[in-house]
Structure 1
């Protein structure tokens, strides 16, 4: 009987070990499959974001070029009256046009690489540009935010008192004022 129990334990131990190996293999397969699906979704998301960024940078570049042409026309109008202002506007228009050309159709990774390069070459300019972009974004956000409806009276109108002020009594009492 002892041999049977010992051999039974060995058989059940081997069976448990086999089940553990099966579970381990299934877990590893599931982990690999999950990792592959996550990689595919991440790649799909990156491609979609890149297409969207290219589309938006193309649109932004076109808009900036229109602004640049408008600055050039304004500069042309000023050339006879204010030559210094016309020169400044022509310079700004040229810079804006160059910037518009540089961002047209760029991908997110390309723009991020350009930002890293600028930060390494000229950190002061990079931080200044970040600050200016932050201020511009803040002003844009506050300008486009919906105005909350308030029940407060407008500043132009005088507030209506809740209690009418007392008038001096007929007996000439001025409440201590002489």
Structure 2
């Protein structure tokens, strides 16, 4: 469903706009030194690579925006890495994500139905009060009640569809970029 929506959105976008400013930084590449455009962290369901690659679709949909997209889903992820602080590959990933979250102006958290996304829940807790979050948690996510109540309590912005998520992300990118210049 997401792919169909984003594909139709891309087809409706003029080709000249698609060649614009979006830059994607994927873990573990270094974060840019200059903060000269809005930074968007793509947090949410990955589930060790089992969840749909919604990040790829979001990156394509935002190709015409002046934004640095911080993508934690890495193509070389190895599920054999031990989720322990002593594993250097695992540590590198977690440290990259923490730095990217802190650096981001906007954080998407997408909780996909059928996924568990425990790291995304942790990230939500870390940033619930930051004003950076845009949360999309549709029916079918196993802890939707927890997400809804926590978002409400801490004033984290929630959207009810991918269309609304994309509109809100675009609006926030514009607000951030106006403040940078």
Same fold (TM over 0.5): no
Q: Considering Cα pairs closer than 8 Å and 6+ residues apart, tell me whether 1 or 2 has the greater RCO.
A: 2
TM-score by length of 1: 0.23
Higher strand share: 2
Larger Rg: 1
